[in-house]
Amino acid sequence: MNAFQQEMVELLPRLRRFGRVLTRDRSDADDLVQITVERALMREDQWTPGTRLDSWMFRIMKNAWIDETRARKRRDVVLAPEAAGLGIGDDGAARAERRLEVAEVERELMRLPEDQRLAVALVLVEGLSYREAASVLETPEGTLTSRLVRGRNAILARLGGEGSAA
């Protein structure tokens, strides 16, 4: 396995998480990750070593999802509803509480409009810089910042926290 492939394998959990944000469905997210990896492997020569592989692959994923949603509209396919809840298990009270909190934040994230949801996912969840996230979403940084602030404030308000206007 070469360095490119190794780094791609390390990105799989993050790709799957972003795929779930895009698709709102676990099995669709898994399919999207597979499509993304296949496209990246076929286009390995287009990636510039020394640049961020995650940003490049997030953009591939976003474009693959756009392609898929257009194809679904043409086929009149309806997306399957989100699987109900996350399994919590007997991992101790603190761990169970943390999983509930994560599930609640994820639920609120999925309620955001798509533009805000993607901005929050790329910057706050995946850790991309504003510039990198704006590039992935093909939008100006100011627009990304506005979407990020609105999305973050909406999540905080719904969770009972205080969202700031800044």
Tell me how far apart the alpha carbons of residues 98 and 66 are, in angstroms, rounded to a whole number.
Answer: 33
This prediction has a pTM of 0.60
Q: What is the pLDDT of residues 121-135, one digit of tens each?
A: 888 888 888 999 999
**DSSP for residue 45:** G
Q: What is the pLDDT of residues 3-49, one digit of tens each?
A: 899 999 999 999 999 999 999 889 999 999 999 999 999 999 999 98
Q: Which residues, in sequence order, are CB contacts of 35 under 8 Å at separation 6+?
A: 61, 64, 68
* Residue ranges of domains in the chain: 1-79, 93-166
Separation in Å, CA 47 to CA 10, 16, 34, 85, 136: 17, 20, 18, 37, 14
CATH topology of domain 93-166: Arc Repressor Mutant, subunit A (1.10.10)
Q: What CATH number does the domain located at 1-79 have?
A: 1.10.1740.10
Tell me how far apart the alpha carbons of residues 73 and 88 are, in angstroms, rounded to a whole number.
Answer: 35
Confidence of residue 79 (pLDDT cuts 50, 70, 90): very low
